């Protein structure tokens, strides 16, 4: 049985999966955008690693994404720079391996463990189905937004 999600206001550190960061960067409304705003307002510390940063950089620079969402390369670089200096950046030296359908999800778990995160926020069904990893709850963006709103 999964652990309950962290109580509102108890989340000090969270790992945002790349899908949440991408959605928050390209859309102006919705849970991912509100989560990025809450991070910018310093309502929680974002834990991030090189794998997530690299994937975010790659996806936001895809021509079809940049064109569809009218992304300015300078704005994308500004976000990446902000994440690099304001987030808790881990080295990913602490490797973990979970039984996942997609082994590319392991760096998310590693980042959370190394960064001592209070939760992982993702839209990835495989990760959400885990419910938790090493006592770290895995929650949807909507659930995390509710925790921030109640705790705010």
Q: Which two tokens stand for residue 27?
A: 């859309």
Fold classification of 13-151 is Rossmann fold (3.40.50)
pLDDT at 151: 60
pTM of the model: 0.89
pLDDT at 2: 39
pLDDT at 6: 47
CA distance 78 to 152: 26
The total of other beta-carbon atoms located within 10 Å of residue 123's CB is 17
DSSP state of 48: E
């Amino acid at each position: 049985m999964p652990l309950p999600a962290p109580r509102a206001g108890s989340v000090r550190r969270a790992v945002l999966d790349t899908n949440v960061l991408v959605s928050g960067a390209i859309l102006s409304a919705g849970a991912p955008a509100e989560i990025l705003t809450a991070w910018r307002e310093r309502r929680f510390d974002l834990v991030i690693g090189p794998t997530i940063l690299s994937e975010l950089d790659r996806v936001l620079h895809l021509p079809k994404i940049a064109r569809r969402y009218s992304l300015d390369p300078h704005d994308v670089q500004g976000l990446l720079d902000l994440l690099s200096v304001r987030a808790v950046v881990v080295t990913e030296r602490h490797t973990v391996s979970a039984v996942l359908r997609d082994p590319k999800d392991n760096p998310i778990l590693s980042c959370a463990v190394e960064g001592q995160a209070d939760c992982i926020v993702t839209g990835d069904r495989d990760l959400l189905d885990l419910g938790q990893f090493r006592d770290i709850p895995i929650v949807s963006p909507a659930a995390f937004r509710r925790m921030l709103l109640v705790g705010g």
